[in-house]
Amino acid sequence: MTENREDEILGKAYDSNLMKRLLSYVKPYARYVVFAILLNIVVAALGPVRPYLTKIAIDDYIVESNFNGLLLIGLLLVASLIFQAVIQYFLTYYTQLMGQKIIYDLRTKLFNHIQKLALRFFDRTPIGRTVTRVTNDIESLNELFSSGIVMVFSDIFIILWILVFMFFMSWELSLVALSVLPVLVYATFLFRRKVRDAYRDVRKHLARLNSYMQEHIGGMNVVQIFTKENEELQKFSKINTDHKQANINSIFYYAVFYPFVEILSSAAVALIIWYGGGNVIQGTLTIGVLFAFIQYTEMFFRPVRDLSEKYNIMQTAMASSERIFKLFDDNTMIQNPEHPERLNKVKGKIEFQNVWFAYNPEEYVLKDVSFKINPGETVAIVGHTGAGKTSIINILTRFYDIQKGSILFDGLNIAALDKRELRKHISIVLQDVYLFAGTIKTNISLNSPDISEERIVEAARTVGAYDFISKLSDGFDSEVKEKGATLSVGQKQLISFARALAYDPKILILDEATSSVDTETEKLIQQAILKLLKGRTSIVIAHRLSTIQNSDKIIVMHKGEIKEMGTHRELLAKRDIYFKLYQLQYKDQEITKTA
Amino acid sequence: MGSLLQLNKYLFRYKTKLVLGISFILVSNAAGVLIPLFIKDAIDGLRTVFSNITVYDSAKVYDIVLNNGILIFIAAVVSGFFRFLIRQTIIVVSREIEYDIRQDFWTHIQRLPLRFFQNNSTGNIMAHATNDIGAVRMYVGPAVMYSIDTISTFIIVIALMITINIPLTIYTLLPLPILSFFVYKLSKRIHKKFTLIQEKFSELTTKAQESFSGIRVIKSYVKEQNEVDAFNKLSNEYLIRNMDKVKIQALFMPLLYLIAGTSVIIVIILGGSMVINGTLSLGEITAFVVFLGYLIWPTIAFGWVANIIQQADASMKRLDKIMNEKYEIEDSAKTDFSITDINGEIEFENVSFKYNDGSDYVLRNINLKIPCGSTIAIIGHTGEGKSTMVNLIARLYDIKEGTIKIDGNPINTIPLKILRKSIGLVPQETFLFSETLANNILYGVNQKDKELVKKYSSVAMLDKDVDDFPNGYDTMIGERGITLSGGQKQRTCLARALAVEPRVLILDDSFSAIDTGTEEGILKNLSSYFAGRTSILISHRISTIRNADKIIVLDKGRIVEEGLHDELVALGGIYADIHLKQLLEEELEEIN
């Protein structure tokens, strides 16, 4: 339950530990940051310099009727404008580039980390949530990195430059003009806080509205079966009204704040006119200065307002980064030994010695399981649902580590081997075939450079998939999934057989699918399985009578234990568990075969 | 643009507020444009200080300056106050209209047939309800507000500028249409680039989704690095697309300053030379510069609004498409409103059914009579049409071939509300609302009756479980509460259906997650509570249905076997086979 709430963390506005970790991703781009700040110092001056130039234009040239001087100022103004535009462009470009690169780094690193996590992690975490971490959560950091960090400097520099020019011209008038500043700052922060609360309220109601709709679209048949349309509409109206009201509340703050800022700015102008005008009359100030100051008040207000906005960016970033780093800190991994033992000349012998295994502590799904498979042997594992068949596969490939006992591969404990090397020698064909977006070819080779095109075609031919593949519009280059050819369940299985064969593993694990396919495909599959198993150590979770009959040994699992072991005939003669399983699952196949 | 006309009826509803809002815009702008004029007067007053010709009266000049300062402030307050009122009217109306549209949308959605929900994903419908309605609101609110604001500001300001100086007005305004045009073009291109970015982002999401879903295969074949490489490649493409947008977006502010700045420079140089020539006053230049400041934002808004309107139009079209979906299943001219209740005799006459015109038949020539008060069971493999059969009785789909009659009346003549109220259908998917357990059970009942909750929970044998819940029947279910087990969910759904005390009870595989012992108890309870009512049970388990008055076996949409349990076992067909296997399973289960 607490996990469910994870997405709702609003977060603190600032957390120095998180910030430190976030900034560590900026470090590789330190020269971008320095460069951007330097550019900012320059570009921030270009805006404020213009009112100063107009002051000179008025006082020195217009009032003195010097047309040439006026033209010169005009040229300077144009130059500063173009210069500012160009620098501004590159500045924006580079800060965004930096932000995007940092986002790229974070995202790919996180993805890489997740790929390394053990299956246990995927068992307990909904996929949707993990996907959100690498997509939306990372995305919400974008603003912080691409505009947040650098733009804070930009705003500060603009404010500083304006102050420099203002005080240079008249410190007295500057103080008068700035007298509205405390009110502005206070109003801004008050507004931010109110708006933030109002916005949270809006978001809360929006979430309610969305989850109501989501839920009721999903359960519309229940609504209709119970003829509750009218009652539901009333409930919906209530939620819809709350959402509207929350929005209207937030409108109020905007409606107050923006006009208020405009009034403040006009008040500053009025003050400048009144006080500055007095100075002009006394001869201590020129009209040009007055003119420049009127322009400065306008310039000054924007960065002050923006600075407070950065606070919001920071807050969103904090909430997302908290979730992201939590995932980074998750270390559910299957540890590789530091000095793994080397496998020389793999033979493919497997031995389970008194293996105990549980997914959850103390709930053993495998109890004291021991068996031996010699190189080249085929072993069928049979049992009713929940007997522990799949768990045997899971622990053999070290998707999970066992609690007690040991599993030996060519006499070496698999825990002492490099798990990547171990898995390279074992191919698994799972029950529900997973096809990736891509072509049939890439789904067989899984983009391995070692697997040549000939080998792909050869593998497909061997398992009997060649015929239907070549009939597809683009043959082996046909896209599977979404836009591509729709493959039947049986065809997908054949492709996964071809995949396993192309990798030519020493050991093959096959989890036979139970889903029914048409007789023709069934025949193809049966033949393919025989070819697949030939010449290699194989473990099959068998659902096909033909597979069982062709295996060297059958292991009968029941409630986590091995109950019987032997050949098909031996076990049938016992007339015990296998006999019952046979009647339940396999006997029908005999009938259809003879029929 | 045509589809936005649909909004007229909504706009009309709030005509008073809208008219008020528009007049507030005019008042606010009228007060606002006075400010530059007061600045002009103040500066021209001061100018006399520098004129060498006249001797000036410093007290009089000071009065001019002070008065204009006060006037500026008053004008600002008046203008600001009406700005406040504008937002409180027009933007508020946009939220009202958003509410109305959403309300209409939901009312409509609720009446659409199940078919609609099967053909449209929840996500898709949600997108219309959120994004599209949001886009339309942007049109009704901000777009309308800024358009009127822009146009009125333009008219007033330009008129005033013309009274000051015509040639200077023309020259300074020249760059502004270019600005509008750039904003329009740029935001359009940015929007396009943004769509491309969104596409890449969804590719990225799909890739992540796929890599995490296929993690077993990936790990089995040691393909982690491949996945990482592919993901890095996509991330990089995403970066490139983002930068493509940045290339254009970064132009925005510089161009804006460049063009707006050009106007100011024109005023200073051209205006300055006019002052030198004596055809313009210094105060008038200042007024021009301030006026320009007034025009720049509306000019930007102009291009921006054009884009909003386009997007709103596209969204409105998508909404229209849903709003035009037919209800299909509702009362019609054939409905006989004199039918006020149902007894419970059901008859299928030659019913055949397929979901879509092009698809295969799911049911073929079903003929079946279910006498009032009897219990009938349907068994068969998955996908053989069992659920379809019962869904047809509740008219979740309408049939085109054959007739289904209840008490001798074809079901499409029975008022839909009466029909559904009399049928307690427990669907196969156990859907519960994120509500308290009690509210879920009382879902179909219009009263908060605790006794009813307890009574039917005990019939459904849910009461023992509830004792262990933290808040008993007031425990929240679902995401914000406890997660029920599959069996508990099924029993809650059963209690919910029982609480409406239907004449016909239909259980679509409602015991699959319940152990046989509990099942037996529930069936016993049902037979005493529901004596005299019709029951239809769908099940995969023999234990559920062996005591039914009649069992039918469906295979490929046809009734292939029919009779009592013993008869069917003796028949040695599909039913007998299922029976044998379940016996074996039970035996296996007992071995330790």
**Are A482 and A386 within one domain?**
yes
Domain assignment present for A291: no
Q: Is residue A7 scored above 60 in pLDDT?
A: no
Split at pLDDT 50, 70, 90, the class of A372 is very high
How far is Cα A527 from Cα A211, in angstroms, rounded to an integer?
Answer: 50
Does B208 sit within 8 Å of A130, measured CB to CB?
Answer: yes
Q: What does the pLDDT look like over A346-366, one tens digit per residue?
A: 888 999 999 999 988 888 899
**Are A197 and A148 within one domain?**
no
Backbone angles phi, psi at A222, to 5 degrees: -65, -45
Split at pLDDT 50, 70, 90, the class of B255 is confident
Q: What does the pLDDT look like over B129-153, one tens digit per residue?
A: 888 888 888 888 788 888 888 888 8
- Tell me if residue A112 falls in helix, strand or coil: helix
| pLDDT value of position B560 | 92
Q: How far is A497 from chain B (nearest CA, A)?
A: 13
∠ Cα B128 B130 B134 (to 5°): 105
Q: How many CB atoms lie within 10 A of CB B277?
A: 10
Split at pLDDT 50, 70, 90, the class of A516 is low
Q: How far is A259 from chain B (nearest CA, A)?
A: 5
Residues with Cβ within 8 Å of B568's Cβ and at least 6 positions away in sequence, in order, are B551, B553, B561, B575, B576, B579
The amino acid that residue B425 corresponds to is: L
Pick the closest to residue A300 from A179, A193, A192, A191 (CA basis): A179
How far is Cα B9 from Cα B104, in angstroms, rounded to an integer?
Answer: 12
Q: For chain A, how many structural domains are there in total?
A: 3
Does A97 sit within 8 Å of B223, measured CB to CB?
Answer: no
Q: How far is A133 from chain B (nearest CA, A)?
A: 10
Closest partner CB to A263 (pick from B76, B206, B420): B76
Dihedral of alpha carbons A301, A307, A311, A312, sign = positive
Domain assignment present for A253: yes
CATH number for position A405: 3.40.50.300
Quick check: A68 and B229 in contact, CB under 8 A?
no
- Write B131-135 long-range contacts (CB < 8 A, 24+): B131/B315, B132/B315, B132/B316, B132/B318, B132/B319, B133/B98, B133/B101, B133/B102, B133/B105, B133/B315, B133/B319, B134/B98, B134/B315, B135/B308, B135/B311, B135/B312, B135/B314, B135/B315
| pLDDT value of position A300 | 82
Could you say which residues from 560 to 579 on chain A have a Cβ atom under 8 Å away from some Cβ of chain B?
A: 563, 577
**Are A424 and A372 within one domain?**
yes
CB contacts of A584 in chain B (<8 Å) are 581, 584-585, 588
Domain assignment present for A295: no
**Are A421 and A564 within one domain?**
yes
- Tell me if residue B361 falls in helix, strand or coil: coil
How far is Cα B247 from Cα A136, in angstroms, rounded to an integer?
Answer: 23
Decide if B381 touches A, using CB distance below 8 A: no
Q: What does the pLDDT look like over B274-304, one tens digit per residue?
A: 888 888 888 888 888 888 888 877 777 777 7
**Are A495 and A372 within one domain?**
yes
Q: Which residues of A145-169 are buried (b: 16+ CB within 10 A; e: fewer)?
A: bbbbbbbbbbbebbbebbeebbeeb
Q: Is residue A12 scored above 70 in pLDDT?
A: no
Domain assignment present for A343: no
Q: Is residue A309 scored above 80 in pLDDT?
A: no
Domain assignment present for A40: yes
Does B125 sit within 8 Å of A430, measured CB to CB?
Answer: no
**Are A524 and A450 within one domain?**
yes
Quick check: A84 and B254 in contact, CB under 8 A?
yes
**Are A279 and A372 within one domain?**
no
Does B91 sit within 8 Å of A255, measured CB to CB?
Answer: yes
CB contacts of B433 in chain A (<8 Å) are 215, 219, 222
Which of left, alpha, beta for B502 (phi over 0: left; psi -120 to 50: alpha)? beta
CB contacts of A229 in chain B (<8 Å) are 110-111
- Tell me if residue A567 falls in helix, strand or coil: coil
Domain assignment present for A244: yes
How far is Cα B363 from Cα A149, in angstroms, rounded to an integer?
Answer: 65
Split at pLDDT 50, 70, 90, the class of B218 is confident
Does A281 sit within 8 Å of B58, measured CB to CB?
Answer: yes
How far is Cα A308 from Cα A193, in angstroms, rounded to an integer?
Answer: 10
Domain assignment present for A5: no
Q: How many CB atoms lie within 10 A of CB B532?
A: 9
Q: How far is B254 from chain A (nearest CA, A)?
A: 4
Mean pLDDT value across residues B96-113: 90
- Write A311-316 long-range contacts (CB < 8 A, 24+): A311/A13, A311/A192, A312/A192, A312/A196, A313/A143, A313/A144, A313/A147, A313/A148, A314/A13, A314/A14, A314/A144, A314/A148, A315/A11, A315/A13, A315/A196, A316/A140, A316/A143, A316/A144
Decide if A168 touches B, using CB distance below 8 A: no
| pLDDT value of position A283 | 81
Residue of A177 and A302 predicted with greater confidence: A177
Decide if B115 touches A, using CB distance below 8 A: no
Closest partner CB to B126 (pick from A81, A213, A399): A213
∠ Cα B15 B17 B18 (to 5°): 60
Decide if B176 touches A, using CB distance below 8 A: no
**Are A432 and A529 within one domain?**
yes
Q: Is residue A323 scored above 50 in pLDDT?
A: yes
**Are A166 and A177 within one domain?**
no
Q: How far is B114 from chain A (nearest CA, A)?
A: 7
Q: How many CB atoms lie within 10 A of CB B453?
A: 26
**Are A190 and A262 within one domain?**
yes
How far is Cα B386 from Cα B362, in angstroms, rounded to an integer?
Answer: 9
ipTM: 0.81
Give chain B's domains with CATH numbers.
1-165 (1.20.1560.10), 346-590 (3.40.50.300)
Closest partner CB to A111 (pick from B61, B99, B208): B208
Q: Which of A277-286, A408-417, B563-572 has the lowest mean pLDDT?
A: A277-286
Decide if A430 touches B, using CB distance below 8 A: yes
Residue of B508 and A519 predicted with greater confidence: B508
Domain assignment present for A307: no
- Tell me if residue A358 falls in helix, strand or coil: strand
Decide if A218 touches B, using CB distance below 8 A: yes
Closest partner CB to A115 (pick from B76, B227, B253): B227
Could you say which residues from 484 to 513 on chain B have a Cβ atom under 8 Å away from some Cβ of chain A?
A: 496, 500
Split at pLDDT 50, 70, 90, the class of A5 is very low
Q: Which residue of A has its CA nearest to B236?
A: A104
**Are A163 and A34 within one domain?**
yes
Does A73 sit within 8 Å of B96, measured CB to CB?
Answer: no
How far is Cα A506 from Cα A424, in angstroms, rounded to an integer?
Answer: 9
Does A233 sit within 8 Å of B110, measured CB to CB?
Answer: yes
The two three-digit tokens of residue A242, written as one number: 């709350």
Quick check: B588 and A577 in contact, CB under 8 A?
yes
- Residue of B107, B179, B235 to mutate for A, most A C-beta atoms under 10 A: B235
Does B76 sit within 8 Å of A266, measured CB to CB?
Answer: yes
Task: Please give the residue range of the domain that contains residue A161.
Answer: 13-170+312-333
- Tell me if residue B353 falls in helix, strand or coil: strand
What are the respective helix, strand and coil percentages of chain A, to the nearest 5?
65, 10, 20
Could you say which residues from 313 to 332 on chain A have a Cβ atom under 8 Å away from some Cβ of chain B?
A: none
| pLDDT value of position A2 | 35
Q: Is residue A155 scored above 90 in pLDDT?
A: no
* Burial of A434: CB neighbours in 10 Å, binned 0-12, 13-18, 19+: middle
Integer angstrom CA distances of residue A165 from A47, A48, A62: 11, 7, 21
Listed in order, strand segments (DSSP E) in B500-590 are 504-508, 534-538, 550-555, 558-563
DSSP A595: -
∠ Cα A41 A43 A46 (to 5°): 115
Decide if A263 touches B, using CB distance below 8 A: yes
Does A78 sit within 8 Å of B273, measured CB to CB?
Answer: no
Decide if B430 touches A, using CB distance below 8 A: no
Q: Could you tell me which residues are beta bridge partners of residue A508?
A: A427, A538
Does B206 sit within 8 Å of A430, measured CB to CB?
Answer: no
Q: How far is A103 from chain B (nearest CA, A)?
A: 9
Residue of B15 and B7 predicted with greater confidence: B15
Does B129 sit within 8 Å of A434, measured CB to CB?
Answer: no
Decide if A237 touches B, using CB distance below 8 A: yes
Q: Give the count of Cβ contacts less than 8 A between chain A and B.
A: 360
Q: Which residue of B has its CA nearest to A562?
A: B592
Does A74 sit within 8 Å of B268, measured CB to CB?
Answer: yes
**Are A86 and A23 within one domain?**
yes
Q: Residue B479: CA atoms inside 13 Å, Cβ hemisphere, count? A: 12
CB contacts of A448 in chain B (<8 Å) are 221, 223, 226
Does B43 sit within 8 Å of A287, measured CB to CB?
Answer: yes
